[in-house]
Amino acid sequence: MQSNEGMANIRLRGQVGSKCLCGPFVGPDKGFYNGLVTINSTQIDGNQVVSQIQAFARELGFSQIGVASVDLSSAEAGLLAWLQQGFHGDMAYMAHHGLKRARPAELVPGTLCVITARMDYLPRTTEDGWQAVELARLNQPTEGIVSVYARGRDYHKVLRNRLQQLSDRIATLIGPFGHRVFTDSAPVLEAELAARSGQGWRGKHTLLLNREAGSLFFLGEIYVDVALPVTEPVQPHCGTCTACMDVCPTQAIVAPHRLDARRCISYLTIEHAGAIPVEFRAPMGNRIYGCDDCQLVCPWNKFAQRSALPDFDPREGLSGQQLASLFEWTEEEFLKRTEGSPIRRIGHARWQRNIAVALGNALRQGADVRAALLRQVEHTSALVREHVAWALAQKGDSK
Closest-CA residue to 389 (of 375, 368, 373)? 373
* DSSP assignment letter at 71: -
Q: What is the dihedral of CA 259, 264, 269, 273, to 10 degrees?
A: 60
Among positions 1, 7, 95, 243, the unique one binding ligand SF4 when judged by CB under 6 A: 243
Q: Under 8 Å CB-to-CB from 390, ≥6 apart: which residues? A: 278, 281, 356, 357, 360
Please tell me the distance from the alpha carbon of residue 183 to that of residue 197, in angstroms, as a whole number: 16
Which residues are designated catalytic? 184
Interaction between residue 241 and ligand SF4 (CB under 6 A):
yes
Among positions 209, 216, 356, 392, the unique one binding ligand SF4 when judged by CB under 6 A: 209
Which residues, 254 to 293, sit near ligand SF4 by CB under 6 A?
A: 259, 264-266, 291, 293
* DSSP assignment letter at 24: P
Interaction between residue 253 and ligand SF4 (CB under 6 A):
yes
Please tell me the distance from the alpha carbon of residue 397 to that of residue 399, in angstroms, as a whole number: 7
Among positions 210, 250, 307, 376, the unique one binding ligand SF4 when judged by CB under 6 A: 250
* Element of type H or E holding 244: helix 243-247
For ligand B12, the binding residues (CB under 6 A) are 1, 3, 75, 78-79, 81-82, 85, 91, 94, 147, 149, 183-184, 188-192, 205-208, 215, 217-219, 257-259, 261, 264, 266-267, 271, 290-292, 294
CA–chain centroid gap for 71, Å, is: 23
Helix axis angle for 382-392 and 347-364, nearest 10°, is 10
Q: Which is nearer to ligand SF4, 236 or 320 (CB)?
A: 236
Q: Which is nearer to ligand B12, 152 or 396 (CB)?
A: 152
Interaction between residue 100 and ligand SF4 (CB under 6 A):
no
Please report how close the Cβ of residue 288 comes to ligand SF4 at its closest, in angstroms: 13
Q: Which is nearer to ligand SF4, 125 or 251 (CB)?
A: 251
Q: Closest-CB residue for ligand SF4?
A: 203
Q: Which is nearer to ligand B12, 49 or 188 (CB)?
A: 188
Please tell me the distance from the alpha carbon of residue 302 to that of residue 390, in angstroms, as a whole number: 38
Report what 293 binds from ligand B12, ligand SF4, none; CB cut-off 5-8 Å by kind. ligand SF4
Q: Closest-CB residue for ligand B12?
A: 78
Please tell me the distance from the alpha carbon of residue 33 to that of residue 36, in angstroms, as a whole number: 5
* One-letter identity of residue 167: S
Largest CA distance in the chain: 79
**Residues at the site binding ligand SF4, with contacts judged by CB under 6 A:** 203-205, 209, 238, 241-244, 248-250, 252-253, 259, 264-266, 291, 293-294, 297-300
